[in-house]
Amino acid sequence: MYPNLFLHREAKPAILVDSPWPGTVKSGDPHTLTMNGYASADGKMLMGVWQSTPGIWDIDYKDWEYCHFLEGRCVITPEGGKPIELKAGDVFVVEPGLKGTWEVIETVRKYYVFKLS
């Protein structure tokens, strides 16, 4: 580790096996792995790798998130909006207030950075 610089390749994250937010699954039996490799001193910035198997669940983002898809395919459908297909190589930001559904079609693996409110 270096002062004021974090190299993700040096992370030794604990692997959390979970599922999407409780009570939000609409279809399938999605399971997720969260490998948080970094947390800022105040706990408001997180970075790591997230993976999910296929399924559909409701989303209601309260925090900001940067995503870089490494593999897989999914569709995010904003409430009242059109479906947006995302695949390996896509980079995007989710801002607080996004509501809708997240559908994993092919197991997804992504880098993420969260800025918690």
pTM for this entry: 0.89
- Residue % of the chain over a pLDDT of 70: 99
Per-residue pLDDT tens digits for 18-37: 888 778 999 999 999 999 99
Question: Strands 64-78 and 84-87: what pairing?
Answer: antiparallel
Complete domains list, the chain, with CATH? 13-115 (2.60.120.10)
Determine the Cα–Cα distance for residues 85 and 76; give it in Å rounded to an integer.
7
DSSP string, 29-97: ---EEEEEEEE-TTS-EEEEEEEE-SEEEEEE--SEEEEEEEEEEEEEEETTS--EEEETT-EEEE-TT
Q: How crowded is residue 74: how many other Cβ atoms within 10 Å of its Cβ?
A: 21
pLDDT confidence of 116, banded at 50, 70, 90? very high
Structure tokens that stand for 99 in this block: 């509501």
